[in-house]
Structure 1
Amino acid sequence: MRRKAYDDLLAWKNGKTKQALLVTGARQIGKTYLIREFGGGEYDHVAEFNLATDDVTRESFLAARSADDLALRISIAADGPLVPGHTLVFIDEVQECPNVVTYIKTLVDRGEYDYVLSGSLLGVELENVRSYPVGYMSELMMFPMDFEEFCWATGLADQAFAMARDCFERQTPVPDFLHERLSALFHRYLLTGGMPDVVAAFVRDNAVDNVRTLQADIRRFYNRDITQYAPRDRRLVIQEIYRMIPGQLNNPTRRFKVGDIADVQRFSQVQDEFLWLSRANVALPVYNVDEPKGPLRAAEERRLLKLFYSDVGLLTGTYEKRSTLGILDGLGTQSGETSSSHDRMNFGGVYENVVAQELVAHGFAPYYFTGKKVGELDFLIEDADGRIRALEIKSGSRFRSHAALDKALVAPGYGIDEAIVFAETNVERDGKVLYLPVYMVSLLHRTRQLV
């Protein structure tokens, strides 16, 4: 499938001097597939090693005692020729052999081959690497397919998004035919999410049963990873927190109530468990800030947070299938509304999850704000130039009611430069507030760089 990260890989290849590339991200997001596609398209030769499935190669690499020793073992294990200047060495599931990361500095110094390393849970498994090769390794974080990539997979023409982007920039309504098409695709994206295998199944079958089966499998994989990789004395609590996310997102504030965890009274008791889920890239924490002005990171308050799944489809897949019927037509309710049908549910948590997912994938570190005098702002983001945007996310019909946002815009000392309400509507400006269709969150981008 077409992925934006391909361009990041190409930029690394063309712009690097002596850097390997470490591709990180959660399991099942398409890292291996994309790197293979990149290698096949941009190199004459590719030597691939999967250290999770190839026991012989893994044990051989673990036995290496120097960079020269590892280079020899790579040449022996490779199926094809290693041609200097024309070969990509791709080492997958590198967390199984952390010493590869230690020796990579010397290997790239030779300048013979390009090296791409990848794996799952690298944020937690590579913490104790003996000598991280600073200056010799760039890192690319991959995410599930975003909404635009999902649209590509369904066959939507590039011109459609270009037209929507033009309407976004000029703040003019999207033509009805395109607005209806993008809204319908967005509602389907809420059901499928961006896991490539799940998206492929949906595009192939146009049904959700296999989609939900694959989503359940992925959640089981993540729970198995917790059992295998998390510290033994923290595993049960980490699993409990991960299982609690859907229920916590169904409460009116979306804030994670730490007191709901068995035998826990204070955030400090479970701070490391939340951090593990974040570093494993299976959950997205969004922290509170003391006040809505920049720099947001300086105002971060880690005792209060919202916790989202890394993929919105994994969230909707936890709900009963019939309860998600309203998603297809944008007929959910939001906090404070009453439903005329027992089949309709509050999709506020689902909408906030997809927004958090898109913001993180597009380079933002989202926060939220809550204050006694103002109320709660769903998201705050900071652009590269320091501008602060307040985002309100509305899943129901009462999207013009946003008391907290109105109060924040006139509160003295607050630094909000732009206010946006994302809802089931078209583009419209009303004074200081810009209303945008919720699918347009995919058009918010902050400059991403390889680090």
Structure 2
Amino acid sequence: MKRKIFAELLKWKQQEMGRTALLIEGARRVGKSYIVEAFAKAEYKSYIVIDFNRSSEEVMDLFVHYLNDLDTFFLYLSNLYNVKLYERETLIILDEVQLFPRARAALKYLVADGRYDYIETGSLMSIKKHVQDIVIPSEERHLTMHPLDFEEFLWALGNETLMDFIRTCFHDRKPLGQALHRKAMDFFRQYLIVGGMPQAVETYVNTRDFNSVDRVKRDILTLYRGDIVKHAQGYEMKVEQIFDDIPAQLQKHDRKFKWASLSKEARLREYEDALFWLSDAMIASICYNSSSPTVGLRLNMDRMTFKCYMADTGLLVSHAFDENGIVSEEIYQKILFDKLAVNLGMIVENIVAQMLVASGHKLYFYSNSSRDDALSRMEIDFLIAKSKVSNKHNISPIEVKSSKNYTLMSLQKFRAKFAQQLHTPYVLHTSDFRQEDGITYLPLYMTPLL
């Protein structure tokens, strides 16, 4: 499948010319190994994939005993993999490098040698046991890989033109028109159901069968549970508790994470490591309350008040509707035809969070539950800052609406209270583009363009 990160890999190769190694991080099953090998086949004369999930003792011993003799290191490596190495024309891939941290540390010497290019792939890269006892090489550049975004999903379905037209309409500030808006929303609802995990998308492309897609997604959820047991040692039960509770927390009206739902005595300090583990594993995305939405959203981040989204909305759907072990075709059909009476709000808000993260945004929202001042009591789903900061008008509030009937009370309060910092207020909804009374109403599929 065509992925945008391929262009980033090409840019790294052309600009760095072997001066740095590239580390691609991402959740399990997000397509890291696939895209790196596709890049190697297309852009290099030869390549070696060292998969530390199944590499031999002989290969791992090279990183222990031969870093002071790189001629011998490469001689053995070439023969062990039966691949001829070409100076400046060979890529060496360290796959699942978190499983053997010494190989990551060795990049300091391999990059300095300068003969070949190096790309690492990994997940759970910042987990303590994967970095202890090694010096992380300064020669390492980082890229994060996310699930397929909406445009990549369209490409997978064979549609190369629709997102370009959507992009043109966004920049020209005009609607798509009834027929094309309906077509875009049909695709978007499919994306909402399937999500962006490559295996799920591939299964959907080949079968158009939601039950088959759901089985793939449940396999991925099972894999994640296995990772929790294996890698979150010491607090795996707490990680599982949070993981299992994400749909229930998002189902609530204000979506904020409540520790009391885990246990009456639960506190952040007891569960903080577990929460950060899910975030580091890129299974979940944390959205923090910015208590004063001014220039620096991060400067006013309230770590005690947050929302927890699934990194992939397709996985959330399978995670949330699991009463019979598999999401029934009927539930999928109701989402597809916009007939699901409950739960749709949390699914739509989750897909917006997913699209914002994929576009490079950190997640923030605004919440003030004042009992004394009704004008200050409000909740805004998301906040984003302008790319170029100025003295005023830097923050755009975003309200997400999953139905056609809604009010904008909180958004109007926000506009009045924070007029000096207000940039463009957005409403993301299921209807076409329009601008009215100083508010920009965007169809949900335009979210990646913010």
Answer yes or no: same fold by TM over 0.5: yes
Deviations 1:295-341 (A, max 9, x none): 10001011111111110000011214334433212344xxxxxxxxx
Q: What residue is the counterpart of 2:207 in the other structure?
A: 205
Deviates more, 1:112-121 or 1:322-331: 322-331
Q: What residue is the counterpart of 2:411 in the other structure?
A: 405
Q: What residue is the counterpart of 1:341 in the other structure?
A: none
1:127 aligns with 2:125: no
User: Which consecutive aligned stretches of 4+ in structure 1 deviate over 4 angstroms post-superposition?
Assistant: 69-73
1:390 pairs with one of 369, 373, 397: 397
Taking the aligned partners of 1:417 and 1:366, their CA distance within structure 2 comes to 17
| Overall identity of the aligned pairs, in % | 31
Q: What secondary structure does 1:85 align onto?
A: coil
Q: What residue is the counterpart of 1:218 in the other structure?
A: 220
Inter-CA distance 412–259: structure 2 relative to 1 (3 Å threshold): same
Q: For residues 302-381 of structure 1, what are the structure 2 equivalents within 5 Å?
A: 302-318=303-319, 319=321, 320-321=327-328, 322-332=330-340, 344-371=341-368, 372=370, 373-381=376-384
Contact 1:291/1:414, CA 8 A, preserved across alignment: no
1:195 pairs with one of 194, 197, 200: 197
Taking the aligned partners of 1:413 and 1:428, their CA distance within structure 2 comes to 21
Q: Quote how far apart the aligned CAs of 1:197 are.
A: 0.7
Deviations 1:127-154 (A, max 9, x none): 32521111x1111100000011000101
Q: What residue is the counterpart of 1:425 in the other structure?
A: 431
Taking the aligned partners of 2:185 and 2:265, their CA distance within structure 1 comes to 41
Q: For residues 275-290 of structure 1, what are the structure 2 equivalents within 5 Å?
A: 275-290=276-291
1:82 aligns with 2:79: no
Q: What residue is the counterpart of 2:172 in the other structure?
A: 170
Q: What residue is the counterpart of 1:32 in the other structure?
A: 33
Taking the aligned partners of 1:264 and 1:57, their CA distance within structure 2 comes to 51
Inter-CA distance 119–161: structure 2 relative to 1 (3 Å threshold): same
CA-atom RMSD, angstroms?
1.7
- What is the identity, as a one-letter code, of the residue corresponding to 2:131? E
Q: Quote how far apart the aligned CAs of 1:262 are.
A: 3.0
Contact 1:174/1:426, CA 8 A, preserved across alignment: yes
- What is the identity, as a one-letter code, of the residue corresponding to 1:443? L
Taking the aligned partners of 2:426 and 2:52, their CA distance within structure 1 comes to 46
Deviations 1:12-42 (A, max 9, x none): 0001151000111000011111001100000
Contact 2:383/2:397, CA 8 A, preserved across alignment: yes
Inter-CA distance 55–226: structure 2 relative to 1 (3 Å threshold): farther
Q: Quote how far apart the aligned CAs of 1:409 are.
A: 0.3
Q: What secondary structure does 2:285 align onto?
A: strand
Inter-CA distance 65–268: structure 2 relative to 1 (3 Å threshold): farther
Matched positions, count: 429
Q: Quote how far apart the aligned CAs of 1:54 are.
A: 2.6
Taking the aligned partners of 1:432 and 1:197, their CA distance within structure 2 comes to 42
Q: What secondary structure does 1:376 align onto?
A: strand
Taking the aligned partners of 2:365 and 2:307, their CA distance within structure 1 comes to 8
Q: What residue is the counterpart of 1:6 in the other structure?
A: 6
Taking the aligned partners of 1:195 and 1:133, their CA distance within structure 2 comes to 30
**Structure 1 unaligned runs (5+)?**
333-343, 445-451
Contact 1:67/1:104, CA 8 A, preserved across alignment: no
Q: What secondary structure does 2:235 align onto?
A: helix
Q: What residue is the counterpart of 1:448 in the other structure?
A: none
TM-score by length of 1: 0.91
Taking the aligned partners of 2:236 and 2:65, their CA distance within structure 1 comes to 31
Q: What secondary structure does 2:304 align onto?
A: strand
Inter-CA distance 414–86: structure 2 relative to 1 (3 Å threshold): same
